[in-house]
Structure 1
Amino acid sequence: MQYIDMQYIDTYELTRLGSTVQGQAPIARFTRLTADLPEQSDAPVAWAVTGETDARGQRFLRVAVKAAPVLECQRCMRPFEWRVETENRLQVVKSEADLDVEGVHDAEPDELIERIVGSARLDVLDLVEDEIILSLPYVPKHDVCPSLPVPLAEEQPESEPGKPSPFAVLSQLKKN
């Protein structure tokens, strides 16, 4: 498989022109992502970054990523592929002082737009890696683990009729 090695972008030029850059990179290239994960296949990470400018002159980057990192299920401890398909819109600001401007804290959580400081040389693969990391589950697990003979919900019945609760003895001790 051939990969496009587009490492750096000029965020100001990309947003001014409304251009799109896209490419692919092997998942092994993303060392912050894969550092604590099981061994990865040579699966590609496909990405696209599109620049936008709105009517008020605000600049945005739309980052789209498709990847399939291998994670370890926390139930059965077996590796499995986690499909990531995400799109995020980031506002490009001129300085770090512009990262935290008035009105941002008053917005609803769904309306908040992440901000990044623009650059003539932004590492686009670091941006892509951040998007993948943010898309990973906190506790990765299969919907139904293939190695378990019975789904977990069936293994642990809430209560069986006629069977005394294991905590019934504790209530007797409490009375004494």
Structure 2
Amino acid sequence: MSNFEMPENINPYQLADKQAGLEGVVPALRLNRLSQAVVSIDKSAEAQLSFKRDDSGRRVIEGKVFCAVSLECQRCMEPYPVELSGEFTLAIVYNDEMARALPAGLDSLLHLPDEQLDVASIIEDELLLCLPMHAMHPEGDCKIETQFGLDEVEDAPSKPNPFDVLKDLK
């Protein structure tokens, strides 16, 4: 990807009408919400954005995002590196009625035509959606052992079943 910094604000309607594309990086300083959700942002976010009209004439943004961060393992509380990457397609709409009319596989971006759009906010939203549900080291890399041996479960002393008394009543 390009090393050029993404512009702060754009007009997505004009870019979609021109079939334009943007490629570059967003520095960690512009990703405030992501920096609060992770231990650290290890590498600036990289993104490719393509603005166009789809077959139905809707203005859409197709994009790819990538960022290297460190998360805190929920088992051992130590940081570990994670690469976040994702792809998305957003339809640019200016009211809720247009958003409801979109097909099921297309997400909406509610934005008025005469306002500027913060590029970092789109990229940051997608990176936040890429965060894992449970932040944990891969199996075997964590300091805390979580595997329980099956032998321990099988060797557990069996307790008498209180419902065994009911068998005798038949």
Shorter chain as normaliser: what TM range? 0.7 to 0.9
> Which segments of 5 or more consecutive residues in structure 1 lack a partner in the other structure?
none
Letter in 2 for 1:113: L
Equivalent residue of 1:134, what SS? helix
| 1:135 Cα offset (Å) | 0.5
Separation in 1, partners of 2:55, 2:37: 43
| 1:78 Cα offset (Å) | 1.1
Residue 126 in 1 paired to residue 121 in 2? yes
Q: What RMSD, in angstroms, separates the aligned Cα atoms of the two structures?
A: 2.6
Aligned partner of 1:9 in structure 2 is 10
TM-score by structure 2 length?
A: 0.80
Identity %: 23
Equivalent residue of 2:109, what SS? strand
Letter in 1 for 2:107: E
Whether the aligned pair in 2 keeps the contact of 1:50 and 1:61 (CA below 8 Å) is yes
Aligned partner of 2:70 in structure 1 is 70
> Which segments of 5 or more consecutive residues in structure 2 lack a partner in the other structure?
166-170
Aligned partner of 1:164 in structure 2 is 155
Equivalent residue of 1:56, what SS? coil
Letter in 1 for 2:59: R
| 1:160 Cα offset (Å) | 4.9
- Within a 5 Å distance, the mapping from 1:27-176 to structure 2 comes to 27-41=28-42, 43-101=43-101, 104=103, 107=104, 112-118=105-111, 119=113, 120-148=115-143, 152-153=146-147, 156-160=148-152, 164-166=155-157, 168-169=158-159, 171=160
Count of residues paired in the alignment: 161
Whether the aligned pair in 1 keeps the contact of 2:75 and 2:142 (CA below 8 Å) is no
Whether the aligned pair in 2 keeps the contact of 1:27 and 1:69 (CA below 8 Å) is no
| 1:5 Cα offset (Å) | 4.8
TM-score by structure 1 length?
A: 0.78
